[in-house]
Amino acid sequence: MNNSRLEYLKNVKRIVVKVGSSTLTHSTGLLNLSRIENLVRQFSDAHNRGIEVILVSSGAIATGVGKLGLKEKPKTIPEKQACAAVGQGILLHMYEKLFSEYGKIVAQILLTREDISHRMRYLNATNTFYALLEQGVIPIVNENDAIVVDEIKFGDNDTLSAMVASLVNADLLILLTDIDGLYDSNPKLNPEAKFISHVKEITEEIIASAGDAGSSLGTGGMITKIHAAKIATSSASSMIIVNGDAPNVIKEILDGKEIGTFFEAQNRPLKAKKHWMAFGTKPNGNIIIDNGAEKALLKSHKSLLPKGILSVQGTFSEGSVVSILNSKEEEIAHGITNYNSSEIDAIKGLNSCDIEKKLGYKNYDVVIHTNNMVILN
């Protein structure tokens, strides 16, 4: 038994649990009622232990597929949205009915990436979650699949659940899936694959272990789960990937049983604002910088001056989150800019003392302050 894992789980007070489509449905696409009933009982029991529970549930599209009698998951966005619109109501009705048998109240929250990227909507979402949790409600979260378009999609509920864990400062994110956890290679292809029970740090080797997407009913593979782990652990949430088939999987996790793959929370997590800049936002443009500026940002944690800027890509306003690229156009940071794109284009390469001469005014000496910047690994 890993003592650090056991000690951590003893103190867990708030969990986010993501349930995948493959866990919730049969291969036909119809709901696996006995498994859902078992999971609801486990969530309710965890709630009775005094642990706050947020459920991120896949399955709306798959449920719609089953209800409409389709033979396979639709491929076009309008067809997926139609299935989601049908399936979401069925899924929530099922959860509400089952949770009510244990005296639990549920609430539905549908999110898009835009809700996370927009700072005020992000804060409003946080306040909504906290208000529900204070009332003893179990929030049930899904992506707003019925209206979402590619530009504002999370793309998978692994990423969504990690962002929710960050949003509510959860102690633990549990990904229930159809595999036992992380292996050093794909166990379906390599019978000699070795199971990895504990990940202290997400290294290149860990990322290389991730395989392709799994079942035909889901959208995420192991690589999306590793990405989710990076998001969660950098906001001080630990994460477990575990097989959702086990009869008492939630209880066993909370009791400290060593099942699944445990990703350890970082000792020095990103502060909330910088975590939002790193993972919650979709940058509105790019600023390309020279080698000197790159060194100043990465090595000395300096602010970005106009002197080190080579070029600007895209159109954005003051206060936008942008990507900072090095001279090879590799992304190295995100930051909130003090000037709009046309202003930056005009002052690029200049010393700060020449900004006013060029623009006729100067609000800031720096284009992006170090306090409004997050360096990406």
Q: Taking the CB of residue 190, how many other CB atoms lie within 10 A of it?
A: 12
Same-domain check for residues 324 and 239: no
* Count of domains observed in the chain: 2
Same domain, 85 and 163: yes
Contact 172, 9 (CB under 8 A): yes
**One domain for residues 133 and 37:** yes
206 annotated to a ligand binding site: no
Q: Is 159 among the annotated ligand-binding positions?
A: no
CA–CA separation, 116 and 141 (whole Å): 13
Q: Residue 313 sits in a domain of what CATH number?
A: 2.30.130.10
- 65 and 152: one domain? yes
List per-residue pLDDT tens for the chain, 377 residues long: 566 788 888 889 999 999 988 788 777 767 888 999 999 999 999 999 999 999 999 888 878 888 888 877 788 888 888 888 898 888 899 999 999 999 999 999 988 877 777 777 777 888 899 999 999 999 999 887 666 555 435 557 888 899 899 888 899 999 998 888 888 877 777 888 888 999 988 888 888 777 543 433 333 478 888 888 988 888 888 999 999 888 899 999 999 888 999 999 887 766 666 667 777 777 889 999 999 999 999 998 899 999 999 999 999 888 788 999 999 999 999 888 889 999 999 999 999 999 999 999 988 889 988 878 888 86
Is 89 known as a binding-site position?
no
- Clarify whether residues 160 and 288 are in a common domain: no
CATH of the domain at 153: 3.40.1160.10
Q: Do both 265 and 356 map to the same domain?
A: no
User: How many angstroms separate the CA atoms of 284 and 210, rounded?
Assistant: 29
Q: Are residues 135 and 257 in the same domain?
A: yes
265 and 294 in a single domain? The answer is no
| 252 lies in the same domain as 287 | no
What gap in Å lies between CA 241 and CA 222, rounded to an integer?
10
- 323 lies in which domain range? 283-375
Instruction: Determine if residue 50 is labeled as part of a ligand binding site.
Output: no
Q: Determine whether the annotation assigns residue 155 to a binding site.
A: no
Residues 103 and 240 both lie in one domain: yes
In sequence order, what DSSP letters do the residues of 45-103 get, joined into one string?
HHHHTT-EEEEEE--HHHHHHHHHT-SS---SHHHHHHHHHHHHHHHHHHHHHHHHTTT
Question: Is residue 66 part of an annotated ligand binding site?
Answer: no
Task: Confirm whether residue 157 is marked as ligand binding.
Answer: yes
* Residue 220 labeled ligand binder: yes
Sheet bearing 373-375, strands edge to edge: 309-313, 286-289, 321-325, 331-336, 373-375
Is 224 annotated in a binding site? The answer is yes
Residue ending a domain, choose from 250, 274, 298? 274
Using CA of residue 149, residue 150, residue 154, residue 158, what is the dihedral sign?
positive
